[in-house]
Structure 1
Amino acid sequence: MTAVSIDNTMTQGKQVKKSKPSRLAPNYWPFVLPALVVVAAVIVFPWAFTLWMSVNSWTLGQERVFAGFANYVRLVQDMRFWESLWHTTVYTVLSVVLPLFLGTLAALVFDAKFPLRGLLRGVFVMPMMATPVAVALVWTMMFHPQLGVLNYLLSFIGIGAQEWIYNQSTVIPSLVLVETWQWTPLVMLIVLGGLAAVPREPYESAEIDGANAWQKFRFLTLPMIAPFLIIAVIIRSIDAVKSFDIIYAMTQGGPGTASETINIYLYNTAFAYYDIGYGSAMAVVFFLVIIALSFVLLMARQRANWSNAEGR
């Protein structure tokens, strides 16, 4: 075979290869579309409908009338709304600070090695596994002024009977006590995970330099677990600000309106007074409050990461 025929054969082979149709780019829409439909049906549509209802004046059984921003103006002038916002703020702050402090303390204790540590860890996290309504019912019986076990225990140390959730001045601290009891184990688990990731070399150097336990915690442990503490604050803040089940099961916002948070007031407005338009406006404002709170907490989390990186 001559060189010319070989060249012709190679050229024809290249032309045959070039003439093959190219593969089409994969189309992912058939796989993405069902998820988009579900998200639109479960998330987008309810919020769009709520936003639309918030600019309407509609009470069940009456005709719906377009009201513009009248519901939002009414919300600004509603002192009961501002009172519920204050109750929500106090409840959230206390429900974050107390579990954060006690959970961190418990994590430091359970990070040490001692007999039956695993068993005690399991016992400590048990409240977190209980359903909120069951927890509310048990604590309601414990808070009873005459028959409750808490007042019985207080009598042994000379403290008189307390009214707990039946008094306007003590109802929110009592509810925070329940929230703290149930969710301190969650903070403990988060911080305990942070302590497990902490290197031991800096502690050995600190011991050589003569640092005591407080100095090691203040200048070594606390900065290194700060990102985990921020995560605990984010989770507890979002969970506490939207807390409903425990409060409603125990007090339904009472006595009077002393424990009425935004969630309870919103529920009563929409489903007890059937003022759907005003309740929708309240839900929109509450959603914006949660978004703002989440943004602030995430910024704090990011700053904690930057500080930790700079420290390294």
Structure 2
Amino acid sequence: MNFKHKYIFLFPGLFVLIGILIFPIIFTIRLSLSGWNSYTPEMNFIGITNYIRLFTDDPRFWESFFRLSFLSVTTVILQYIIGFALALIVWREIKFKRFFRVIFLIPMMTTPVIMTVIWRTFFHESLGPVNDLLGNLGVEPILWLSDPVIAKFTVIIVEVWQWTPFMFLLLLAGLLSLPKEPFLAAAIDGASSFRKFVYVTFPLMAPISIGAIIIRLIEASKIMDTVFVLTSGGPGTATETSSFYIYIKGLREFQMGYAATLSFTYLVIMIISLTIIAKVLTKLMIKE
């Protein structure tokens, strides 16, 4: 076969890439330069008017972005800590190890929307079992979904419970792939379990940890279903994230051109932010 003919086999994948990635981005950019909304059905060109509006007259988007940053970073940190702890427990020789592996993965196997509805029932402030249990312990009912501050932590609780198993799965796979020689050398030197973790396990797990954190940050930056079902962005805008705000502008207010502007700006910000975070984590966790 001629060497040039081999490139023919790249065309199907290239067409798929163009169809699901490149074309939507180009179309979003074109849409962001238009005033397309429910009153202007045609995609009229208005230049950078939407971008000027975003950077000069829309503090709500930036508030939702910083709120999202807090929620995503907090949830991923907690997921990493808890997931790593669970992975270390199952990694060691304990009884019913396979049983615990399955139990820890159950939250991730459940549909997020269904589980969020269940959590909303749990956290119902007058009929929910959580406040009933706290009342039996003499604790006043907590406004899980009505207090602007507490509602953020309610979202964090649900996200951590739902996606810690994913972090657990990645980290457990990493632990099972580690070489045994460094641990044998540490045992011969008489290193304690804590020193083995600090000087052997954690450094060896650094590349896998960085990958797991970045993957979860990418997913956490798109928090939408949990907020939509649990709080609908409330109370007020206390739990409104960037994705939810873009949904409001695009599919509730039908400002499709402006929603495209928000989406593309958000995409650029997240690419830059995640690149910086990846480099910082690499410098902190991987020692040359």
Please report the TM-score for the alignment, with normalisation by the length of structure 2.
0.91
Q: Aligned residues, how many?
A: 286
Note if 1:50 corresponds to 2:28.
yes
- Secondary structure of the equivalent of 2:5? coil
Aligned partners of 1:303, 1:158: CA distance in 2, in Å?
48
Q: CA deviation at 1:266?
A: 0.3
Note if 1:76 corresponds to 2:76.
no
Specify the alignment match of 2:75 in structure 1. 95
Aligned AA (1:38): V
Q: RMSD between aligned alpha carbons?
A: 2.1
Is the Cα contact below 8 Å between 2:210 and 2:282 reproduced in 1? no
Is the Cα contact below 8 Å between 1:270 and 1:278 reproduced in 2? yes
Aligned partners of 1:94, 1:24: CA distance in 2, in Å?
54
- Secondary structure of the equivalent of 1:211? coil
Q: CA deviation at 1:166?
A: 2.2
Aligned AA (1:103): G
Picking from 106, 110, 128, the partner of 1:130 is 110
Aligned partners of 1:230, 1:135: CA distance in 2, in Å?
28
Note if 1:141 corresponds to 2:139.
no
Q: CA deviation at 1:131?
A: 1.0
Aligned partners of 1:25, 1:85: CA distance in 2, in Å?
49
Aligned AA (2:129): V
Q: CA deviation at 1:30?
A: 4.5
- Secondary structure of the equivalent of 2:148? coil
Aligned AA (1:236): R
- Secondary structure of the equivalent of 1:68? coil
Aligned AA (2:12): P
Note if 1:185 corresponds to 2:147.
no
Q: CA deviation at 1:232?
A: 1.3
Aligned partners of 2:96, 2:76: CA distance in 1, in Å?
29
Q: Once the two structures are superposed, what CA deviation does each residue of 1:86-115 show, in whole Å capped at 9, x if it has no partner?
A: 111111111111000100111111111122
Specify the alignment match of 1:280 in structure 2. 260
Q: Once the two structures are superposed, what CA deviation does each residue of 1:38-92 show, in whole Å capped at 9, x if it has no partner?
A: 3323322221111011112221232544221111111112110111011111111
Aligned partners of 1:143, 1:162: CA distance in 2, in Å?
9
Residue range with higher mean Cα deviation, 177-186 or 25-34:
25-34
Please report the TM-score for the alignment, with normalisation by the length of structure 1.
0.85
Q: CA deviation at 1:205?
A: 3.4
Aligned partners of 1:40, 1:91: CA distance in 2, in Å?
32
Aligned AA (1:98): L
Aligned partners of 2:106, 2:182: CA distance in 1, in Å?
34
Residue range with higher mean Cα deviation, 276-285 or 25-34:
25-34
Is the Cα contact below 8 Å between 1:230 and 1:300 reproduced in 2? no
Structure 1 residue runs of 5 or longer lacking an equivalent are 1-22
Is the Cα contact below 8 Å between 2:50 and 2:257 reproduced in 1? yes
Residue range with higher mean Cα deviation, 210-219 or 98-107:
210-219
Aligned AA (1:43): L
Aligned partners of 2:136, 2:285: CA distance in 1, in Å?
48
Aligned partners of 1:306, 1:90: CA distance in 2, in Å?
25
- Secondary structure of the equivalent of 2:93? coil
Q: Once the two structures are superposed, what CA deviation does each residue of 1:238-271 show, in whole Å capped at 9, x if it has no partner?
A: 0000121111121221111111100000000011
Picking from 269, 273, 287, the partner of 1:289 is 269
Aligned partners of 1:34, 1:197: CA distance in 2, in Å?
34
Picking from 220, 227, 233, the partner of 1:253 is 233
Q: Which has the larger radius of gyration?
A: 1
Q: CA deviation at 1:288?
A: 0.6
Specify the alignment match of 1:169 in structure 2. 149
- Secondary structure of the equivalent of 2:178? coil
Picking from 18, 32, 37, the partner of 1:59 is 37
Aligned partners of 2:73, 2:230: CA distance in 1, in Å?
20
Residue range with higher mean Cα deviation, 182-191 or 57-66:
57-66
